[in-house]
Chains A and B, each alone.
Chain A
Amino acid sequence: MRINLRTRKNSGQTLVITALVISLLTLSIFYGVFEASRRSEMDNLTTLNDYVFVTKLGLKKTVISSLANFSSGGTNEILATNLNKYVSIVGNQAYFGKVSILFTLLDVPPYQSGLHLSWDSEGTGLSSAYANYSLVFTKTEANLQFKHETNITTKLDVEGTYNQLEGTARNVTVNCKILNEGEPSLAKNITISYELDGDPSNQEWINASSTNNIDYGNGTYRMSFIAETESVNDPMLISAQVYDMRGIFVLANATCSET
């Protein structure tokens, strides 16, 4: 009788332990399910972010290419043409559902069809392009929309000084500073020329063969050369023509001061 009682007491303990094990098992399965689905959602988001980043990069490069073309003598429809081409190709990719890109080109003066060139004689040259976009991802579950804008600007600041040498010869020093989107940037090519008689109306520009070039590595360049003007009293007009590393052309003229 005593043995029977002990057996009955122990059977309850086994049940409790079994229930504990089963509940632990259930909890761990629930946790596993939750964690796996969370990780999957995070990965999907990262992949979508990558895709949006790639699309933005493509749009930016399209604007740069269009500005490079326009600043080198192209027509101002080039930006719209190139963006249409890019948008139509991206629209055919359907990894995240249907992608459509709506773009607007800035048409507020001084911009025309999203493009603007300002190459003045006050020592500053500016080549710029501006467009904004709306990226729409259409899926069966939901729609996603991203707004984005691209402003590409290449700015050139030029200033020069000269020392009068013998006769009509002058030792000219020109400083050029190149900025991309307001940040110092390197130049691919710089050409300096000067006006023979200091009068820009007759366009007698002579290429300066620079004798001393200094590249400061921060978008600032110093060039020195000997110029021969028609007469001693002619103003010293210089012109700097620069291609930045992206192939965008910018020009600026300036009058040098005597030191």
Chain B
Amino acid sequence: MRFVNDKRGQIRIIEALFASLLMISTITLVPSQLGIEKTHFNSYYSEGTQVLVSLDSNGKLSSLIEERNWTSLKKCIQSVLPVSLWFNITVFDENLTIINDAKISNGGLISDEIIAINYVCASLSQNYAIYIVRLQLAGVK
């Protein structure tokens, strides 16, 4: 009878329940934090891809590569990417041999977190060729 009437421990049980809920939700939050880091990667990936698509959709990217006009390629990329982003481009042929003999970059690396986009660029010319453009991006943290 004394145990039934003694209600002092109930609030402790509720407290323990809330505390355990808090702990469980914090544990659940950890993987989503990793997801947030991935979001950072995704936004750069998306931005870089759109820059390359805008250059490639009218055949400009492949024609600049075919002309080996690395200076114009650098200027084109520089004009469309935000100034806060660092970039470096490497162009490979079908056999994965590097074909750009000059550096296509806008300066020194500003962050250790670099993302790389491998873009397969098909040429529009009669002499069909495929190039793989690797665009590396990094932003200020």
Contacts and interface: CB of A to CB of B under 8 A. Distances in A.
A162 B22 CA distance: 89
Interface stretch (B50-58, B83-91, B100-108): B50-58
A181 B33 CA distance: 47
B56 A57 contact: yes
A69 interface: yes
B50 A50 contact: yes
B126 interface: yes
Contacts of A19: 14, 18
A220 B26 CA distance: 66
Contacts of A43: 38-39, 42-43, 46
A29 B15 CA distance: 17
Contact of A33 (B32, B57, B94): B32
B125 A247 contact: yes
Contacts of B130: 85-86, 89
Nearest to A41: B35
Interface in A220-256: 246-247
A191 interface: no
Interface in A1-55: 15, 19, 22-23, 25-26, 29-30, 32-33, 36-37, 39-40, 43-44, 46-47, 50-51, 53-55
A103 B104 CA distance: 35
Contact of B126 (A44, A54, A74): A74
B139 interface: no
A180 interface: no
A233 to B, nearest CB: 42
B128 A62 contact: yes
Contact of A26 (B18, B45, B46, B123): B18
Contacts of B119: 54
B13 interface: no
B29 A32 contact: yes
Contact of B22 (A22, A44, A58, A65): A22
Looking at A26, A57, A65, the one whose CB has the most chain B CB atoms below 10 A away is: A65
A78 B118 CA distance: 26
A58 B56 CA distance: 9
Contacts of A15: 11
B22 A37 contact: no
A41 to B, nearest CB: 9
